[in-house]
Chains A and B, each alone.
Chain A
Amino acid sequence: MSKEMVRYDDAIVRKFVTATLVWGAVGMLVGLWCALELAVPQLNVAPYFTFGRLRPLHTNAVIFAFAGNAIFAAVYYSSQRLLKARPIDRLSAIHFWGWQAIIVAAAITLPLGFTQGKEYAELEWPIDLAIAVIWVTFAVNFFAMVRNRREKHLYVALWFYIASIVTVAILHIFNNLVIPAGLFKSYSIYAGVEDAFMQWWYGHNAVAFVLTTPFLGLMYYFLPKAVERPVFSYRLSILHFWSLVFIYIWAGPHHLHYTALPQWASTLGMIFSVMLWMPSWGGMINGLLTLRGAWNRVAEDPVLKFFVVGLTFYGMSTFEGPMLSIKSVNALSHYTDWNIAHVHGGALGWVGFMTFGMIYWLVPRLFQAPLHSKKLATTHFWIATIGIVLYVLSMWVAGITQGLMWRAFDDAGHLQYPDFLETVTRLAPMYWVRALGGSLYIAGLGVGAYNIFKTWKARPARYAELDVAVPPMVRTVAPAPAPAPGGIERAVASKPHWHRRWEGLPALFTTLTVVAVLVASAFEIVPTFLIGDNVPRIKTVKPYTPLELYGRDIYLREGCFNCHSQMIRPFIDETVRYGQNGKPAEYSKPGESVYDHPFQWGSKRTGPDLAREGGKRDELWHLRHLENPRSTSMGSVMPGYPRLLSDDIPWDVIQTRVDVMAMLNVPYDAQALAHADALARQQAAQVAKTLEAGGGPKGMADKEVIALIAYLQRLGRDIQLAQDAAAGAQ
């Protein structure tokens, strides 16, 4: 039989590995800065480097830049070899440089305050479009390899890659549907409950299909390579794949327990989250048992050390995740630092260590020189491991402390810690331990980067290219070819059973994967959107005024949602804590946020919930608090925003924003649709007058702080009107 030659493209893998290390360092350093800002709030450098603007930069950088580039390195290296096909060079270049350009755009726009206001989906619409284009380029390049492959069977790692590629595309498109209100301003087409549902369908599955399935693909390829043994059970990997892909997509609503999301959706999310434990541990066990008979090598091989501990963290995170999704546990853990511990166990332990294991295995092969120092790699491993332990333990302690303090009542039936600040200042020591843990992890990365740099320095003058003799394309081959001596050809099953037929037809295989994802999504999304009872309307809930709408945009711009929730759960400690004048607050209702594009329920309470903030304090308190939080709240870790007192409201943008809201079916009246800016000026003048009457500074009527105060004073007022009306009727 005639043979062809394929030359693998390792240059693209070298590029992605380098980008992984560079962006990993950037993303983690930004994370460390954010951690220090919580311990020393003076480190918030307004306006660009406050916690609210930097935290999204940290999450985007580590998820899409560090993990993203690691995934691409893994995919390009392993897929070429598993498929015996080379990607299209031009598409590889567009993919690499396009992705780096997107990361740079994110690094510029997020500190500038351009955000969609949804976690992990903050990037504004032009960047979202660029992501879609580059992702499609990647997909085309990958599927071109699949189409041109010389190996009939699609190895299990490739299934995980395929599932990731198609699902990320679906998630990205549907969660980022917005209507632009300017070049870097847009509003989500969804509002309130629906937006919350879409966001956490996306958010949770970003964890699944960016931070889990591609790394499982990586594990199924690189672990057998490193240990020089096949995966423990290929059968288990098939079960692992289909169970994981089918179950994962349902789990998103567990991020919204006890919120205004309908209970059935929340319960469904919990059930599937608990079920998720089984395939996750199936994968972990499959990975760890691949080392059977080779455990002695773990002691001396840093690659295996990283893989073993990475898999162990995968096991721990995938036990902790289902546990946190159980409603009664979630009631304590949600909005606390426990979630931060959980996320970082997965991110630093699983994603980080699998990435470092892969890189240490790849580097000698890519740079065609022996690793500079095995001892330094081992040092990296131990420093980073100690760093993770410190990080996770401190955040567990902080989270549980926080949750218990929020709930505590004294013997007389009063909140034991009624001042929210008490529950913040108590955590300061843990924030320092967290910063130490993060520093150690980054120090480990520094050692690793030095080691890899020295390996790169020892590279040959010219890289030798790997030429591989391959059989003709499988599409043209009839029966199995005979193995060539020393070649790479292997027998191809002459009578593939049904599963292998699917794999031989990647279009059908991909379609089935998409169906698994879409069926699950449809079962949750369609009833959420179409059963009217899910969101009972409240008559007193009205659209924000034009000024409040702009104030809300400032709230989004400054990333307030990173620290403040707007969701009173139906717990006695929350209704009491967030009540007014000695009366408990109403818990949050679905109908309250029907005009919230996007929703702002939040996921963390570094500061108190703001859903019932309106009317609690006067305008002057808010102004002083925004200017310097510690002037009104001793011990607060919130950044100061003095520029809000000097920056003018850009009146000319308000009409456009109201118009876009109207396009989203927010019922603005004719006056707002024609004279939004005039209405905004009118309300601003009133707020400024009240401020002055209370002893505040003069001349504030056109300053941004007025709009933000107007918004904050509106929060929770509409539901109060409904309560008053009900009380009047009685």
Chain B
Amino acid sequence: MMRLSELVSALTPSQYTELSLVLFLAVFAGVLVRHGGKRRAAEHSACAQLPLADDDGVRR
């Protein structure tokens, strides 16, 4: 049976480096695609207001 270290050694360290960069690029592109356009502008604008109206209340 193949040992875990042999399995991990199937890729060279440089390939891990390259794979990690591809992974990051995918995550970055994913977030950018979902949030980069103007479609969410109104929603983002509403979210940004959250801290500004959070202390309304009555002091007793």
Interface residues of A (CB under 8 A from B): 8, 78, 81-82, 84, 151, 153, 155-157, 220-221, 224-225, 228-231, 233-235, 238-239, 242-243, 246-247, 250, 262, 264-265, 267-268, 271-272, 275, 464-469, 486-488, 490-491, 493, 497-500, 516, 519-520, 523-524, 526-527, 530-533
Interface residues of B (CB under 8 A from A): 4-5, 8-9, 11, 13-14, 16-17, 19-21, 23-24, 27-28, 31-32, 34-36, 40-41, 43-60
Given contacts A225-B51, A523-B19, A530-B5, 7 further A-B contacts (CB under 8 A): A81-B54, A264-B17, A466-B57, A467-B57, A488-B57, A490-B53, A531-B9
Q: Are A520 and B20 in contact (CB under 8 A)?
A: yes
Interface majority SS (helix, strand, loop, mixed), chain A:
helix
Q: Are B44 and A243 in contact (CB under 8 A)?
A: no
Q: Are A519 and B23 in contact (CB under 8 A)?
A: yes
- B5 surroundings in chain A (CB, below 8 A): 530-532
Q: Which of A228, A239, A500 contacts B31 (CB 8 A)?
A: A239
29 residue pairs bridging A and B, Cβ less than 8 Å apart: A82-B50, A82-B51, A156-B47, A224-B51, A224-B52, A229-B52, A230-B51, A230-B52, A235-B36, A235-B41, A238-B31, A246-B28, A250-B20, A264-B14, A272-B20, A275-B24, A464-B60, A466-B55, A467-B58, A467-B59, A469-B57, A497-B34, A499-B34, A519-B23, A523-B20, A523-B23, A524-B16, A527-B16, A531-B13
Q: Which of B16, B28, B50 contacts A264 (CB 8 A)?
A: B16
- B41 surroundings in chain A (CB, below 8 A): 235
Q: Are B34 and A466 in contact (CB under 8 A)?
A: no
> Beyond A238-B35, A239-B32, A465-B60, is A82–B54 a contact (Cβ under 8 Å)?
yes
Nearest B residue to A6, CB-CB: B57
- B46 surroundings in chain A (CB, below 8 A): 490-491, 493
Q: Are B17 and A268 in contact (CB under 8 A)?
A: yes
Nearest A residue to B44, CB-CB: A234
Q: Which of B27, B44, B52 contacts A246 (CB 8 A)?
A: B27
- A469 surroundings in chain B (CB, below 8 A): 57
Q: Are A243 and B51 in contact (CB under 8 A)?
A: no
Compute how far the CA of A486 lies from the CA of B56 in the bound complex, rounded to whole angstroms.
8
Compute how far the CA of A231 lies from the CA of B55 in the bound complex, rounded to whole angstroms.
17
Q: Which of A225, A242, A465, A524 contacts B27 (CB 8 A)?
A: A242
- A155 surroundings in chain B (CB, below 8 A): 47, 50-51
Compute how far the CA of A468 lies from the CA of B5 in the bound complex, rounded to whole angstroms.
57
A80 to chain B, nearest CB (A): 9
Nearest A residue to B58, CB-CB: A467
- B32 surroundings in chain A (CB, below 8 A): 239
Q: Are A234 and B13 in contact (CB under 8 A)?
A: no
Q: Are A235 and B44 in contact (CB under 8 A)?
A: yes
- A262 surroundings in chain B (CB, below 8 A): 13
Nearest A residue to B9, CB-CB: A531
Nearest B residue to A264, CB-CB: B13
Compute how far the CA of A309 lies from the CA of B21 in the bound complex, rounded to whole angstroms.
33
Q: Which of B4, B51, B53, B54 contacts A530 (CB 8 A)?
A: B4
A400 to chain B, nearest CB (A): 31
- B44 surroundings in chain A (CB, below 8 A): 233-235, 238
Q: Which of A81, A235, A268, A533 contacts B20 (CB 8 A)?
A: A268
A498 to chain B, nearest CB (A): 7
- A498 surroundings in chain B (CB, below 8 A): 34
Residue of A225, A268, A275 most packed against chain B (CB within 10 A): A268
Q: Which of A228, A465, A487 contacts B59 (CB 8 A)?
A: A465
- A265 surroundings in chain B (CB, below 8 A): 13
Compute how far the CA of A708 lies from the CA of B18 in the bound complex, rounded to whole angstroms.
45
Q: Are A230 and B31 in contact (CB under 8 A)?
A: no
Compute how far the CA of A221 lies from the CA of B52 in the bound complex, rounded to whole angstroms.
9
Q: Are A468 and B57 in contact (CB under 8 A)?
A: yes
Q: Are B9 and A467 in contact (CB under 8 A)?
A: no
